[in-house]
Amino acid sequence: MSNTLKGKIALITGGSRGIGAATARQLASEGATVVISYSNSEGQANDVVAAIEASGGKAVALKADQANAAEVKALIADVVKRYGKLDILVNNAGVFETGTVAETVDDAGFDRQLRVNYEAVVTAIREASRVMGDGGRIISVSSALALRSTWPGVADYSATKRAIEGYTKGVARDLGAKGITVNAIGAGSTNTEMNPDTSPFAEAQAAATALGRFGRPEEIASVIGFIASPAASFVTGAIIPVDGGYSA
């Protein structure tokens, strides 16, 4: 364990598995106390907490549905009540629903992606920005699909991620004077429950990268760990591609 983030309080939304769980392990290994949120996967969230504690780290799991703005606000308030502050916010929770515009997309699916992938990020950033101080870090997990859709059926998802990226740049300007950095990660195809490397679409995704393969959650988390660290103090308003060269 290194001490880069010793004394820091970090909230990772959707930390029960995949990229969020790897990020929780990464930040905890650097000394942060981590709070992970989940909506359904209580058992997996508790397993992440147990693994971090077994490695000598500090973690807690809290239930909060990102589709519900009141629960997102209560989550941030709960973190501040428990620890007196919030230093690092990682907006990771997301849903990926495919469907072509003319055939399969319905209002409910559109609404769910908009709420979880974008509106919750806005709400969390707004609430966090009111309690964060100098040196605060806001990092949102966007997608390489924000810039280039590549396949049919991802328009809604891509648009929610592109919205995050626009918001990231604007808020970086808003919060620069407070010493808070705001960045997004343009994550490429990563082997998780959302996007397993065994799916029928995996081969095409791997072929679309320069490295010819999927990423591992830890390969996204390590970059988030850097952006969260004091070493990244001059990085803000950036969309950082971590995509194996998909966008090259």
Closer Cβ to ligand NAP, 92 or 129, answer by number:
92
Q: Contact, 140 vs 155, CB < 8 A?
A: no
95 binds ligand NAP (CB under 6 A): yes
Calpha distance 119→96 (Å, rounded)? 15
CB of 154 to ligand NAP, least distance (A): 11
User: What is the DSSP code string of 198-226?
Assistant: TSTTHHHHHHTSSSSSPBPHHHHHHHHHH
Is 14 an interacting residue with respect to ligand NAP (CB under 6 A)?
A: yes
| Positive/negative CA dihedral, 109, 112, 114, 116 | negative
Distance CA 5, CA 226 (A): 10
Q: How many residues bind ligand NAP (CB under 6 A)?
A: 30
CB of residue 234 vs ligand NAP: minimum separation in angstroms? 25
Query: For residues 2 and 40, which CB has a smaller minimum distance to ligand NAP in the complex?
Result: 40
The active-site residue out of 38, 157, 167, 246 is 157
Question: Is position 38 annotated as part of the catalytic site?
Answer: no
What six digits make up the tokens of 223? 């970059």
Is residue 241 involved in binding ligand NAP (CB under 6 A)?
no
Residue with tokens 């919750």: 120
Output the smallest distance, CB 81 to ligand NAP, in A.
Answer: 19
Residue 16 engages ligand NAP in binding (rule: CB under 6 A):
yes
Tokens 């930390």 map to which residue? 15
Alpha carbons 50 and 96: distance in angstroms, whole number: 28
Binding site for ligand NAP (CB under 6 A): 14-20, 37-41, 65-67, 92-96, 116, 141, 143, 187, 189-190, 192-195
